[in-house]
Amino acid sequence: MQEETGFVCDLGDELGSVSYTDRHGRPKVVRYWRMTTCEGEFTPNNEVSELRWLSREEAARQLSFDRDREVLARL
């Protein structure tokens, strides 16, 4: 599977999903998966402008919403 970062990944366990209304008032559902990168190279695009590899603790500090921290805690 090619991920929106440009990497080809093997899917692992599903970590769950979150639902919310985006800034344009549209309903959105995001599903999260554990993934292992196989190949590829990151290229900024309209979905992902920056890529950083972080520890779980640092990633949790960077997140804005509790719903995203809950998904991260499932790893």
Please give the Cα distance from 5 to 56 (Å, whole number).
19
Please give the Cα distance from 40 to 5 (Å, whole number).
9
2 within some domain = no
30 within some domain = yes
44 within some domain = yes
Tokens standing for 44? Answer: 């900024």
pTM: 0.72
Please give the Cα distance from 3 to 20 (Å, whole number).
22
Condensed to tens digits (0 to 9), the pLDDT of residues 15-72 reads 999 999 999 999 999 999 999 999 999 989 898 999 998 999 999 999 998 988 999 9
List Cβ neighbours of 4 (8 Å cut-off, separation of 6 or more): 45, 47, 48
Count of domains observed in the chain: 1
- Residue 37 β-bridge partners: 9
Q: How is residue 73 annotated by DSSP? A: H
Structural domain span for residue 25: 7-73
1 within some domain = no
